[in-house]
């Protein structure tokens, strides 16, 4: 009786939404599976593209998992985890963003029946972590190193990795052309970590084959004043002066007041302004530089002055381009023109201004340090060029990763099938429930080859059976994956479908972590919407303007009763 009389304890604010237990977990799993279904069809060389239209009216066509996830604007708290792992895969490795979302979705899908049957999620998490550890060890064991090869061989291998990445993109038709371009660009910057040393410039018009690589820096001609056309547009072995100052005739900024006793003194003040600018220009010329670039404006007076002395100048060059010119030519950006010595000047073999499509480009080639490269992209529609840029970014990241972590594995679902077979075999040696859980993890890994078949329009069951039969043969099965062209199975290594091992390792790791994270949540607490609170605050602010505050809203001074 005493227990019945106890008052109800109110812990959370009124209107707080709490959901817990098994239904809550199932709901989170369903949300994650729904997200995985969105990007499912974009996987592989025959993957479809998504056209995303945002509220600002911008249209994006893409089949890059990370881009789609970013643009979807997902609000479900559990499903947001998948967006985060896609972003982390993109920033860490560059490719495999669709793979990581699919794997996480599939791990949860396999866990769902166990949760419904009353299995504790911690048991699943423990088994998934063990399986993930075993899978990563197996991938490392199957990986083949490209270390110690000659530069030509290495270039060839890296181009194959880039081509595998590009095959699933919009520019897949020209993958060999772009793969070699990407490899040259990455090798040009060497082990330089800053990705912005590879510039990608987009020029609408022409076709994809008109794209080209500049071993140096190229940027669009900046805004120029009269006198620009008289400047030379080509130099061999010029010295380059990089500035971060304005070369303009500036009138006094402050409202200064000068009292003159003699009108003739006025001229000396005007002359002083002119002398300052002429002194700056003189020092630029005396430095011996033939190309002067500045981040700030170079005015009409300076432009004409340089033109008369056969010097090329460009003002308002973007910070990024100026830094790339500095890195390539070995120059240093100066904030003053006093005491410009030879050590701070850049140098390159050839500077020229060329027409590319409707744009004019300033091109610096044959740079001594060579730590930069520029890819100039051509193509029809703007959306197409945007997607081409995203695709090249993925390929550049992959080549950089393969260059640093020089191990590769077979693509086309081959590595997934081999790891799946190994886990199934290992599961048989385990007593207890975790045998079932590791088996379901192994089954989830088959989603990659299955989805590759589905997207290409082949019978997935048939192809997977052939793959399982091949991988069951211990000696030769490991490199066999889906053959997208014939709908059968083929040796992925022989067909040059390769990817860096780090892509797979990262994907398995991130997907397992995400799945375990979703499985470990058993209660969601949603605070009541703060909109009502905001509304009240706004109302009281409005009412407070009148005399007498919110109780007398509308009775303030000057308002009609």
Residue 201 tokens read as: 């410039």
Determine the 3-state secondary structure of 235 from DSSP. Answer: strand
| Residue 109 · residue 122 · CB < 8 Å | no
Evaluated on CA atoms 510, 514, 515, 516, the torsion sign reads positive
How far is it between the farthest Cα atoms of the chain?
108
Residue 67 tokens read as: 């881009």
Q: Which residues are catalytic?
A: 64, 97-98, 394
Q: How many residues does the chain have?
A: 561
Determine the 3-state secondary structure of 346 from DSSP. Answer: strand
Buried b (16+ CB within 10 A) or exposed e, 418-436: bbbbbbbebbeeeeeebbb
Helix ranges (H only) for 405-500 are 414-427, 434-445, 447-456, 460-472
- Our measurement of the distance from residue 212's CA atom to the centroid of its chain's CA atoms, rounded to an integer in Å, reads 21
Which residue, 133, 159, 165, is CA-closest to 146?
159
Q: Which residues pair with 298 in a beta bridge?
A: 247
- Integer CA distances (angstroms), 397 to 33, 46, 62, 89, 394, in order: 28, 22, 18, 11, 5
- Secondary structure of 385-413 in the HEC alphabet? HHHHHHHHHHHHHHHHHHHHCCEEEECCC
Residue 552 CA to residue 558 CA, distance in Å, equals 14
According to DSSP, residue 182 is labeled H
| Residue 285 · residue 337 · CB < 8 Å | no
Number of Cβ within 10 Å of residue 223's Cβ equals 10
Q: Which residues pair with 550 in a beta bridge?
A: none
Percentages (nearest 5) of helix, strand, coil residues in the chain: 50, 15, 35
Tell me the backbone φ, ψ of residue 478, rounded to 5 degrees. Answer: -50, -45
Q: What angle do CA 10, 15, 20 make, to 5 degrees?
A: 75
């Amino acid at each position: 009786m005493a227990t019945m009389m106890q008052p109800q304890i109110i812990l959370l604010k009124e209107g707080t939404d709490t959901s817990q237990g098994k239904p809550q977990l199932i709901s989170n799993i369903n949300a994650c599976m729904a997200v995985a279904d969105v990007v499912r069809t974009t996987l592989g060389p025959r993957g479809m593209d998504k056209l995303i239209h945002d509220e600002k009216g911008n249209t994006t066509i893409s089949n890059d998992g990370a881009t789609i996830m970013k643009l979807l604007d997902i609000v479900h708290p559990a499903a947001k985890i998948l967006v985060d792992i896609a972003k982390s895969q993109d920033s860490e490795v560059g490719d495999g963003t669709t793979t990581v979302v699919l794997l996480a979705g599939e791990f949860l899908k396999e866990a769902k029946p166990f949760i419904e049957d009353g299995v504790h999620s911690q048991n699943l998490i423990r088994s998934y972590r063990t399986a993930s550890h075993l899978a990563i060890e197996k991938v490392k064991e199957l990986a083949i190193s490209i270390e110690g090869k000659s530069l030509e061989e290495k270039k060839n291998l890296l181009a194959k990795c880039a081509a595998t990445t590009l095959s699933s993109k919009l520019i897949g038709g020209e993958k060999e052309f772009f793969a070699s371009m990407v490899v040259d660009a990455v090798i040009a910057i060497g082990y330089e970590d800053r990705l912005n040393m590879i510039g990608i410039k987009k020029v609408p018009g022409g076709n994809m084959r008109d794209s080209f690589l500049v071993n140096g820096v190229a940027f669009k001609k900046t805004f120029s004043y009269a006198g620009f056309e008289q400047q030379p547009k080509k130099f061999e072995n010029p010295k380059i002066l990089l500035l971060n100052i304005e070369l303009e005739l500036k009138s006094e900024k402050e409202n200064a007041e000068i009292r003159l006793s003699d009108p003739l003194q006025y001229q000396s003040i005007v002359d002083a302004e002119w002398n300052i600018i002429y002194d700056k220009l003189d020092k630029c010329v005396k430095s011996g530089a033939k190309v002067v670039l500045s981040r700030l404006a170079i005015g009409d007076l300076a432009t004409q002055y340089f033109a008369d002395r056969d010097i090329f100048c460009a003002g308002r060059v973007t910070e990024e381009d100026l830094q790339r010119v500095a890195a390539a030519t070995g120059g240093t950006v100066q904030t003053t023109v006093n005491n410009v010595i030879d050590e701070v000047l850049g140098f390159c073999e050839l500077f020229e201004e060329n027409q590319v499509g409707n744009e004019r480009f300033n091109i610096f080639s044959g740079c001594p340090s060579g730590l930069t490269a520029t890819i100039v992209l051509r193509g029809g529609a703007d959306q197409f060029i945007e997607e081409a840029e995203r695709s090249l970014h993925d390929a550049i990241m992959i080549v950089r990763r393969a260059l640093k972590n020089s191990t590769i594995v077979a693509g086309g679902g081959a590595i997934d099938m081999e790891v799946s077979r190994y886990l199934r075999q290992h599961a048989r040696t385990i007593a207890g429930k975790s045998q079932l859980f590791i088996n379901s993890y192994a089954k989830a890994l088959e989603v990659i080859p299955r989805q590759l078949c589905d997207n290409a329009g082949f019978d997935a069951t048939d192809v997977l059976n052939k793959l399982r039969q091949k991988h069951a043969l211990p000696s030769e099965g490991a490199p066999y994956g889906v053959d997208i062209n014939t709908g059968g199975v083929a040796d992925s290594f022989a067909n040059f479908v390769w990817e860096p091992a780090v892509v797979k390792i990262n994907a398995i790791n991130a997907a397992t972590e995400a799945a375990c994270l979703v499985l470990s949540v058993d209660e969601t607490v949603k605070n009541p919407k703060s909109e009502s609170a905001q509304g009240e605050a706004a109302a009281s602010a409005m009412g407070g303007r009148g005399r007498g505050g919110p109780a007398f809203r509308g009775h303030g001074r000057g308002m009609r009763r």
